[in-house]
Amino acid sequence: MNASSRQKSGMKILVSVISILLGFVAGALLMLSSGANPLTGFSYLFQGGLKSVTRICNTIAYAVPLMLTGLSVTFAFKTGLFNIGAPGQMLIGGLLANVLALTVDLPRPLLLPLVITASIVGGMVWAAVPGFLKARFNVNEVVSCIMMNWVAYWVVYIIISDHFKSTTIDTESQVIPAAASLKTEAITLLTKGSNLNLGIFIAIIATALVIFILNRTVLGYEMKAVGFNRFAAEYGGINVQKNAVLAMVISGALSGLAGLTFYCGYLSNMRIGVMPSQGFDGIAVALLANCAPVGVVFAAIFFAILQTGKGFMNAMMPIPPEIADTIIATVIYFAATSKLIEMNLDRIKKFFGRKRPSKSEGSGEHVEHH
């Protein structure tokens, strides 16, 4: 990495840190307005996600789907597309995984890979539709992705309600068998009964693959070239339409895996009538990470701490849990306006970097004048 790249990376990290600090400032002002001590409130907020081994592992388990949806948004964004369809892709990936888990009777070594593959295929197929519409008819992917989200919502609602509904709770599916779950007894015992599961390894592998594809393959180079300037890429002989579809398909595969880790890992069934918030939160994760795959991992953990800790904060103090959501919203706002932060940082740097004449230089000029 050359000096210029290091400087850019340092600037991105600094912008993310400033965005987080500004978010906490907003949260502190809200706590003060409600008569609460911000330091105490933030203490309970972080204790809720990090107080014990079990809480830490639960936070990481919650962060895993956020990592994958953050990677999904990041991958699409790097290739010039905005995948806002992660919630729908999560739903379809989770649905196919659950359907197979509840209908196919196989031993764990065979069933688990089948379930993982089904979730990937589900996400890929669901994302391929906006990708094809974008490539073939130049339909805005944001509009088509939002429409596909709601189609997925009702597909899950109908299939679960008609065929896989729980016998005890009408709004939930049947619980998947242990053979199809990402939870393992060894990890559960080691983490003192937390929800941490094999999904963490899936997220790590997915992060490594995204970095490899984007930085070490011809396909990744072509996709990034299309993202920078599709007209220049097309002039250079790159098939823009094919790469648009492929980018959405790979992005959808990551969201499908997020559905797997959430519905077959963090949970053990699906809930109907609920759009998974992790799909939309993945956008925030990608923004805070400045669309850097490694940064996505840390940004996902940060958001998971806020989400898992807000309930504890609310239980310990008369502070509404929505304050944590306000902090997240403020962080997103400043992360989205990172260019403004960068511009102001550049101005500050230039102001303090101006060369001022030293005393020796001034005295020399005085002597020469006389």
- pLDDT classification of 370: cutoffs 50, 70, 90: very low
* pTM score: 0.90
Helix axes 338-353, 322-336, angle to 10 degrees: 60
The tokens describing 112, both together, are: 């688990």
Q: For the CA atoms of 312, 267, 129, 113, what is the dihedral angle to 10 degrees?
A: 140
DSSP label at residue 173 = B
The tokens describing 316, both together, are: 């310990």
The predicted pLDDT at position 339 comes to 66
Tell me the longest C-alpha to C-alpha distance in the chain: 100
The predicted pLDDT at position 101 comes to 97
Collect all residues with Cβ–Cβ distance below 8 Å to 65 and sequence separation of at least 6: 90, 199, 258, 259, 261, 262, 266, 276, 278
Q: Rounded CA gap, 343 and 300, in Å?
A: 26
The predicted pLDDT at position 26 comes to 86
The tokens describing 58, both together, are: 């639960």
- pLDDT classification of 361: cutoffs 50, 70, 90: low
Q: Rounded CA gap, 303 and 295, in Å?
A: 12
29, 13, 9: which is closest to 319 by C-alpha? 29
**Does the pLDDT value for residue 237 go beyond 60?**
yes
* Average pLDDT, rounded, for the chain: 90
The predicted pLDDT at position 50 comes to 95
Residue type, position 169, single letter: I
Give tens-digit pLDDT for 73-112: 999 999 999 999 999 999 999 999 999 999 999 999 999 9
DSSP label at residue 266 = I
The predicted pLDDT at position 346 comes to 75
- DSSP calls for 310-366: HHHHHHHSS--THHHHHHHHHHHHHHHTHHHHHHHHHHHHHHHH-----HHHHHHHH
